[in-house]
Amino acid sequence: MTISIFDLFKIGIGPSSSHTVGPMLAARAFARELSGLGVARIEVTLYGALSLTGRGHATDRAVILGLAGCHPATVPADEAAMIWQTVKSTGELTLQHRESISFSLKHDLLFVDQPLPEHPNGLRLIAFNAEGTELLNQVWFSLGGGFITRRDQQSAESQTVEEVSVPFAFSSAAELQTLCEQHHISMAELVRANEQALGHSEQAVAEGLDDLWSVMEDSIQRGCQTEGELPGGLQVQRRAPVLFRRWQAEEKQQDPLRVMDWVSLCAMAVNEENAAGGRVVTAPTNGAAGVIPAVVAFHQQYDSHASRDSIHTLLLTAAAIGMLYKRNASISAAEVGCQGEIGVASSMAAAGLTAVWGGTVAQVENAAEIAMEHHLGMTCDPVAGLVQVPCIERNTMGAVKAINAARLALSGDGIHRVSLDQVIATMYQTGRDMQDRYKETSLGGLAVNVIYC
């Protein structure tokens, strides 16, 4: 399986790539096949983690938007709100092919806490005609990071490219490092060459990277300017605007930790936007969407050599590392806990920053390993099933750890005891051993020990 950087980094809406973006894409793909069938009713069942935290992650809303033909990368916020409110108030849903049906959120959208055997994030969509005859029945799985697959076949919407020959195919960090060293290229150059083999011209890759950074930067700016309370009932107040004003006011002070404040507020700004359902980049997930933008913003703000090219290098290098986790482990918190989201994002960011700081391929691999090693075992226990507590603050910590990991890697020669491949395998094994209550089900940890009403 060859993964494109534009598969790993997707533009979408919050609050969750696995619980919002993925289900929306699955419902949209299902709706595309309904034209001309005479659909009168659709029944959607959410299973496992999609059921347990579905309402807090806006999975119900995402499914409705997908059936209406909306795409998470392009749907305007006001249009999404109008579609959702129409279904809630009138019980009428206009499908992607413009046919209107009745849809009851109480009777046609079902929640089953027991997961399907293949994956904890499952959903079944069934279309019926007026006589109650079943027209189409599909089971989809949301794999994390906006990746989806259908039970009976590989989905085109999963955004993966199968059986495409690329000049530098790799399935492990060791292979990736060997290819770079043998061909005297960086990880960024390797990924760029593979992208061109996947049909993306050099200009298209550059413009695509510009678009990703533009959305990341916009989410930072919106998060720094938007005041108020986040939706969901936890009464969590946005803190990024306050931190941003404080950071500006302290510009002339010689505080050595002001740099860290900048990193934290950028990460917090992005994930407060995500928690509010705003547009972010899955990097590689929505729950961890603030880590890489915060590290890129740090590089842009504080490195004198920062440029468009260096930002591209950082993102391309980060993608190379992310592809390893996607291929050999998981980026789904419902499958392996938050180590698969914040941990992976931190590992990706550490690698990218090490690359733009002039690190060797061995040092880049080392930085990625260091960052993940110190996220091993991190649970996913969102309070009230919302991507707010502890998710938002975890992004700030992941970004700071990424910078520290890059510094540590650059202080050595790249030779280290634990390899990135070993730590990826350990992360996956740890996640498989983790009790389900700690994997995006809100049945353990902070989710049961923090009282809310």
**Which amino acid is it at 204?**
A
In angstroms, rounded to a whole number, what is the distance separating the alpha carbons of residues 227 and 78? 19
In angstroms, rounded to a whole number, what is the distance separating the alpha carbons of residues 149 and 160? 10
Question: Nearest CA to 224 among 154, 176, 294, 177?
Answer: 294
> By percentage, how much of the chain surpasses pLDDT 90?
93
User: At the fourth CATH level, which superfamily is domain 5-157?
Assistant: D-3-phosphoglycerate dehydrogenase; domain 3 (3.30.1330.90)
Angle value at C-alpha 389, between 317 and 120, nearest 5 degrees: 70
Is 47:365 a contact under the CB 8 Å cutoff? no
**Which amino acid is it at 315?**
L
Q: What is the rounded average pLDDT of the residues 256-278?
A: 96
How many CB atoms are closer than 10 A to CB 55? 17
> For residue 312, what pLDDT is reported?
98
pLDDT grade for 157, boundaries at 50, 70 and 90: very low
> For residue 254, what pLDDT is reported?
83
Longest dimension (CA), the chain: 74
Asked whether the predicted pLDDT for residue 163 surpasses 70, the reply is no
Q: What are the sequence ranges of the domains in the chain?
A: 5-157, 173-438
In angstroms, rounded to a whole number, what is the distance separating the alpha carbons of residues 108 and 102? 9
* Residue 26, CA distances (Å) to 216, 218, 351 in order: 25, 27, 32
Is 4:198 a contact under the CB 8 Å cutoff? yes
* Cross-strand partners of 47: 112, 122
In a 10 Å sphere around its CB, with 0-12 CB exposed, 13-18 middle and 19+ buried, how is residue 177 labelled? buried
Dihedral sign computed on CA atoms, order 271, 272, 275, 278: negative
Q: What is the DSSP string of 116-183?
A: PSS-SEEEEEEEE-TT--EEEEEEEEEEETTEEEETTB--GGG--B-S---TT--SSHHHHHHHHHHH
* Residue 317, CA distances (Å) to 303, 323, 364 in order: 18, 10, 9
- SS3 percent helix, strand, coil of the chain, rounded to 5, is 50, 10, 35
> Could you read off the pLDDT of 403-445 as tens digits, one per residue?
999 999 999 999 999 999 999 999 999 999 999 999 999 999 9
Choices 3.20.20, 1.25.40, 1.10.3470, 1.10.4100: CATH for 173-438: 1.10.4100
**CA end-to-end distance (rounded Å), the chain:** 45
Q: What is the rounded average pLDDT of the residues 31-36?
A: 94
* Residue 309, CA distances (Å) to 10, 205, 299, 453 in order: 20, 12, 12, 48
In a 10 Å sphere around its CB, with 0-12 CB exposed, 13-18 middle and 19+ buried, how is residue 449 labelled? exposed
pLDDT grade for 129, boundaries at 50, 70 and 90: very high
Strand ranges (E), 236-374: 279-282
Question: Nearest CA to 371 among 397, 340, 405?
Answer: 405
What is the chain's mean pLDDT, rounded?
A: 95
167 upstream amide cis, omega within 30 of 0:
no
Asked whether the predicted pLDDT for residue 158 surpasses 50, the reply is no
In angstroms, rounded to a whole number, what is the distance separating the alpha carbons of residues 281 and 368? 20
**Which amino acid is it at 214?**
S
In angstroms, rounded to a whole number, what is the distance separating the alpha carbons of residues 23 and 304? 42
> By percentage, how much of the chain surpasses pLDDT 70?
97
> Could you read off the pLDDT of 272-331 as tens digits, one per residue?
999 999 999 999 999 999 999 999 999 999 999 999 999 999 999 999 999 999 999 999
In angstroms, rounded to a whole number, what is the distance separating the alpha carbons of residues 324 and 291? 18
Asked whether the predicted pLDDT for residue 159 surpasses 80, the reply is no
In angstroms, rounded to a whole number, what is the distance separating the alpha carbons of residues 48 and 341? 19
> For residue 161, what pLDDT is reported?
40
Question: Nearest CA to 222 among 289, 285, 272, 288?
Answer: 272
> Could you read off the pLDDT of 435-451 as tens digits, one per residue?
999 999 999 999 999 97
> Which is it for strands 41-48 and 109-112: parallel, antiparallel or unpaired?
parallel
